[in-house]
């Protein structure tokens, strides 16, 4: 059972959702917990249609989004049903935990329960606010309030006729507000999340090493020195708002910018000093008061914590595009990259996340392409476009120099990996022909400038991704996860090398062993998930394949082990006994039922066994497979419809002599 699907995997998601809903309702009934199919479905839809799409991941942010955003905006139901949403959400989250489907990186059941409790009062207020609903819900709820269910065939036409005749009353002011919010793109925009590209797991050094690296950052040291130099008494500024040339040279020498010997007419002509001044102002280390630049009194704690200062410096860096980039030497007063620096720099760093050395020429082309999406350049002459493209490339390199000084990026030189040229001939690559031609030539150079994120840079980008609600796995963060939750995460979010590292790291902790992992797989109520979890052990453990062979006759894991051995070609189907054939068939059909739903399985059975499909299913149901819940689903959803169809066909009376379809009178008898 997967808990993450690509947005385009509609059928797969709907099949999984049906299984989860059915099982959750049964679990709730067995445990005496409140449940409602509409609200549980809404919880799954809300997480699927989000930036990360993880059905099993819930924290206070996602609980808030669901209770205060999704339910009020989208879900149509009587108020007495909506009022119990917090309790239904508790049931659903407890079910995820009980079945091992919870993402351990989210809140624990106790933490989630506390978050729901904190948000319950705000939830009721959100339900009372008619301006929180969407337009579709407004009309559907209006119809429901008048006893009309728009999901019923023909009811939409009835509703429209009643509206036109004035028999349906609605709040025109609320409708006007909703229309204005829609067309002005205001309101609950947080719900309109575009699915983000999943990030690969990364490895980070110990916290102490990261802290030491932050302390050694050139920019951090310069910011501390600059703030100390400014002091509480400060230094005077000119009428133009700059330091005096004497002060600028003095502080440049103190900071080691190399600009103290520049022959300039104004402090404004010292780019690195101006960057540091702007940076310190953005962080609130210094400020301008009464014509003097002074240290901010409350900046003391930040100055005494280099790691926190580093993080703050990285956080505000995208806001400094106007002092990092250089204006184009034409009529345009600022650079293209400078205008969109706050958007493009994070995108560039996201591209680098989890990657080895990336040639800067490759990044330059994607940045130039992005600049053209922000600004209209097609109507400019070719030489003007080339000027702007060259300036954007120089500005990007300047940004990387600043990132190097901060300690977020490392620059090296050498030949580019074939990875960065091999995709240029792919049909789905998005670069225009002229960019492809430039890259083909440049990527052959033996001494290209290349960039990669340092561990500090990796951690900072990861923290930003997490703050945006994106999934950014970290090797080692599952060290204390429950066995089922650990294996569930590895099956979906970790490539094999990182899965092996994470799994073997988990096993290094006392009390966490292979037997506890096997116990978790035995307890898993979903065939697809159990098979995937078992496959992780096979691929990640040194003795994994031997373990699978030893499990062939396990009363619970045997069918899944058999399936893996068959897929790997280690077992000849002809060597299986009748019981193993039946167990393997049951495993496969239960898997198909989870993946495609009952209709899909019924069609496959009919194609395989024709009129004997029901008898075929009956033999599988009597196979002795341990998955009682899955077999019950198969009996109800597959066997019963097949039996009913077979019974119906047998009850059709045979045509009488002379009736249509049979010759009348005496004919030759068949021997």
What confidence tens digit (pLDDT) does each residue in 554-568 have? 999 999 999 999 888
Confidence at residue 228, expressed as pLDDT on a 0 to 100 scale: 95
CATH of the domain at 281: 1.10.10
User: What's residue 657's pLDDT?
Assistant: 45
pLDDT confidence bin for 339, thresholds 50/70/90: confident
Q: Is the pLDDT of residue 164 over 70?
A: yes
Contact yes or no for 359/420 (Cβ under 8 A): yes
Return the structure tokens found at 265.
Answer: 């007419």
pLDDT confidence of 541, banded at 50, 70, 90?
Answer: very high
Q: Which residues of 612-628 are buried (b: 16+ CB within 10 A; e: fewer)?
A: ebbebbeebbebebbbe
Give pLDDT tens digits for 186-197: 554 456 788 998
| Pick from 142-156, 370-384, 530-544: least confident | 370-384
Q: Are 564 and 534 in contact (CB under 8 A)?
A: yes
The Cα 412–Cα 635 span in angstroms is 63
- Residue 524, both tokens: 């898993």
Q: Mean pLDDT lowest for which of 12-21, 46-55, 180-189, 621-630?
A: 180-189
In a domain, 5, yes or no: no
pLDDT tens, position by position, 471-527? 999 999 999 999 999 999 999 999 999 999 999 999 999 999 999 999 999 999 999
Task: Report yes or no on 465 lying in a domain.
Answer: no
Is the pLDDT score of 378 beyond 90?
A: no
CB atoms closer than 10 angstroms to residue 73: 18
CA 582 from chain center: how many Å?
A: 39
The mean-pLDDT minimum among 377-386, 533-542, 649-658 falls in 649-658
Which of 2-16, 163-177, 334-348 has the highest mean predicted lDDT (pLDDT)?
Answer: 2-16
Residue ranges making up the domain that contains 608: 578-650
The DSSP H or E segment spanning 531 is helix 527-540
Quickly state the pLDDT bin for 659 (edges 50, 70, 90): very low
| pTM, full prediction | 0.85
571, 605, 627: which is the final residue of a domain?
A: 571
Total residues found in the chain within this entry: 671
Over residues 18-33, the pLDDT tens digits come to: 999 999 999 999 999 9
pLDDT, one tens digit per residue, over 392-447 is: 899 999 999 999 999 999 999 999 888 888 878 776 777 888 888 888 888 889 99
Residue 98 burial (10 A CB sphere; 0-12, 13-18, 19+): middle
With the C-alpha atoms ordered 296, 298, 302, 305, is the resulting torsion angle positive or negative?
positive
Instruction: Check if the beta carbon of residue 325 is closer than 8 Å to that of residue 382.
Output: no
What does the alpha-carbon distance between residue 271 and residue 267 come to, in Å, rounded to a whole number? 9
Tell whether 513 and 600 lie within a shared domain.
no
First to last CA, the chain: 54
Alpha helices in 443-508 (DSSP H): 455-467, 483-493, 496-507
Residues 86 and 186 in one domain: yes
Same domain as 257, residue 368: no
Q: Which two tokens stand for residue 562?
A: 């058999």
Domain-located, residue 247: yes
CB of 50 closer than 8 Å to CB of 106: no
Name the band, by pLDDT with cuts 50, 70 and 90, for residue 333. Answer: low
From CA 285, how far away is CA 297, in angstroms rounded? Answer: 8
- DSSP codes of every residue in 26-88: HHHHHTT----HHHHHHHHHHHHTSSS--TT---HHHHHIIIIIIHHHH----HHHHTTHHHH
pLDDT band of residue 651 (cuts 50, 70, 90) is very low
Tokens of 88: 């239904």
Cα distance between residue 6 and residue 404, in whole Å: 36
Nearest to 48 by CA among 70, 23, 81: 70
User: Considering 515, 542, 571, which residue would you say is the last residue of a domain?
Assistant: 571
CA dihedral 502→507→509→510, nearest 10 degrees, is 160
Burial class (CB in 10 A: 0-12, 13-18, 19+), 655: exposed
How many domains in the chain?
5
Rounded CA separation 31/202 (Å) = 40
Cα(517)–Cα(535) distance, integer angstroms = 12
CA nearest to 518, candidates 533, 496, 501: 533
Q: Which of 16-30, 269-283, 494-508, 612-626 shows the lowest mean pLDDT across its residues? A: 612-626
Q: Is residue 274's pLDDT more than 80?
A: yes
Do 401 and 530 share a domain, yes or no? no
Q: Is position 457 within any domain?
A: no
Give the sign of the dihedral formed by CA 105, CA 111, CA 113, CA 118.
negative
- Are 324 and 406 in contact by the 8 Å Cβ rule? The answer is no
Which residue bears the tokens 């704690």?
301
- Which residues neighbour 172 within 8 Å (Cβ) at sequence distance 6 or greater? none
Contacts of 235 (CB under 8 A, 6+ apart): 229, 243, 244, 247, 292, 293
Instruction: Please state the rounded mean pLDDT for residues 302-315.
Output: 96
Please indicate, yes or no, if residue 309 is contained in any of the structural domains.
yes
**Residues 145-149, mean pLDDT to the nearest whole number:** 78
Beta bridge partners of 293: 235, 288
pLDDT at 84: 95
Domain annotation covers residue 666: no
Identify whether the C-beta of residue 47 lies closer than 8 Å to the C-beta of residue 191: no
Q: Tokens for 316?
A: 């505000």
Contact status, residue 325 vs residue 334, Cβ threshold 8 Å: yes
Per the prediction, the chain carries an average pLDDT of: 88
552/584 same-domain check:
no
Tokens of 343: 């958007």
On whether both 310 and 391 belong to a single domain, the answer is no
Question: Residue 95 corresponds to which tokens in the numbers above?
Answer: 């079910």
Note whether 311 and 375 are same-domain residues.
Answer: no
Enter the tokens of residue 209.
Answer: 């090493």
Measure the CA–CA gap between 407 and 212, rounded to whole angstroms.
Answer: 11
Q: Can you give the pLDDT at residue 647?
A: 66
Same domain, 304 and 279: yes
Indicate whether 462 belongs to any domain.
Answer: no
Kindly state whether residues 362 and 430 are assigned to the same domain. Answer: yes
Same domain, 529 and 549: yes
Sign of CA dihedral 259, 261, 263, 267: positive
Domain contains 506: yes
Residues 181 and 39 in one domain: yes
Phi-psi region of 469 (alpha: psi -120 to 50; beta: other; left: phi over 0): left
Same domain, 124 and 226: no
pLDDT on residue 422: 81
Q: Does residue 431 contact residue 423 with C-beta atoms inside 8 Å?
A: no
- pLDDT for position 118: 96
Which of 174-178, 458-462, 596-600, 621-625 is least confident?
A: 174-178
């Amino acid at each position: 059972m997967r808990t993450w699907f690509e947005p385009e995997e509609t059928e797969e998601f709907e099949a999984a959702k049906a299984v989860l809903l059915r099982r959750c309702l049964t679990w709730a009934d067995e445990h005496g917990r409140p449940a409602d199919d509409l609200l549980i479905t809404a919880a799954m839809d809300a997480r699927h249609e989000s930036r990360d799409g993880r059905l099993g991941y819930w924290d206070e942010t996602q609980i808030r989004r669901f209770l205060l955003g999704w339910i009020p905006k989208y879900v149509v139901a009587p108020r007495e049903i909506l009022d119990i949403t917090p309790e239904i959400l508790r049931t659903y989250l407890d079910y995820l935990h009980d079945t091992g489907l919870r993402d351990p990186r989210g809140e624990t059941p106790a933490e989630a329960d506390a978050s729901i409790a904190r948000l319950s009062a705000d939830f009721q207020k959100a339900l009372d606010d008619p301006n929180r609903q969407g337009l579709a819900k407004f009309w559907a709820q209006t119809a429901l309030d008048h006893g009309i269910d728009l999901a019923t065939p023909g009811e939409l036409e009835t509703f429209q006729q009643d509206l036109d005749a004035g028999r349906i009353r609605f709040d025109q002011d609320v409708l006007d507000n909703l229309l204005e919010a829609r067309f002005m793109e205001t309101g609950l925009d947080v719900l309109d999340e575009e699915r983000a590209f999943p990030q690969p797991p990364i490895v980070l050094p110990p916290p102490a090493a990261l802290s030491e690296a932050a302390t050694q950052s050139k920019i951090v040291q310069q910011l501390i020195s600059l703030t100390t130099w400014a002091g509480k008494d400060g230094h005077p500024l000119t009428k133009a708002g700059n330091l005096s040339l004497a002060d600028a040279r003095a502080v440049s020498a103190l900071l080691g910018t190399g600009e103290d010997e520049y022959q300039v007419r104004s402090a404004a002509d010292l780019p690195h000093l101006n960057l540091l001044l702007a940076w310190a102002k953005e962080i609130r280390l210094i400020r301008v008061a009464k014509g003097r630049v002074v240290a901010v009194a409350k900046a003391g704690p930040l100055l005494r914590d280099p790691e926190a200062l580093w993080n703050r410096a990285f956080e505000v860096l995208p806001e400094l595009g106007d002092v990092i980039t250089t204006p184009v030497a034409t009529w345009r007063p600022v650079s293209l990259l400078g205008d969109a620096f706050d958007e493009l720099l994070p995108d560039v760093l996201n591209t680098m996340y989890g990657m080895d050395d990336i040639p800067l020429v490759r990044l330059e082309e994607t940045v130039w392409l992005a600049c053209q999406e922000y600004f209209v350049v097609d109507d400019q002459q070719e030489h003007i476009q080339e000027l702007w493209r060259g300036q954007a490339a120089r500005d990007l390199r300047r940004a990387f120099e600043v990132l190097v000084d901060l300690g977020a990026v490392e620059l090296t030189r050498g030949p580019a990996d074939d990875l960065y040229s091999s995709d240029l001939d792919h049909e789905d690559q998005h670069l225009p022909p002229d960019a492809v031609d430039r890259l083909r030539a440049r990527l052959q150079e033996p001494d290209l400038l290349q960039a990669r994120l340092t561990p500090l840079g990796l951690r900072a980008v990861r923290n930003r991704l997490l703050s945006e609600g994106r999934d950014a796995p970290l090797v080692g963060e599952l060290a204390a996860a429950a066995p089922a939750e650990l294996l569930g995460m590895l099956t979906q979010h970790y490539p094999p090398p990182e899965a092996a590292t994470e799994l073997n790291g988990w096993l290094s902790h006392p009390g966490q062993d292979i037997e506890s992992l096997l116990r978790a797989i035995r307890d898993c109520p979903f065939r697809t998930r159990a098979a995937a979890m078992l496959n992780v052990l096979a691929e990640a453990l040194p003795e994994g394949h031997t373990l699978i062979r030893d499990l062939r006759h396990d009363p619970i894991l045997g069918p899944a082990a058999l399936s893996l051995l068959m897929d790997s070609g280690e077992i000849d189907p002809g060597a299986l006994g009748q019981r193993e054939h039946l167990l393997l068939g049951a495993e496969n059909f239960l898997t198909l039922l989870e993946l495609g739903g009952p209709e899909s399985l019924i069609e496959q059975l009919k194609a395989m066994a024709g009129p004997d499909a029901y008898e075929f299913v009956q033999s599988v149901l009597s196979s002795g497979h341990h998955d009682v819940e899955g077999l019950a689903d198969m009996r109800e959803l597959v066997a019963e419809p097949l039996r009913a169809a077979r019974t119906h066909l047998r009850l059709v009376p045979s045509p009488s002599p002379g009736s249509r379809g049979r010759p009348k009178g005496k004919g030759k008898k068949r021997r």
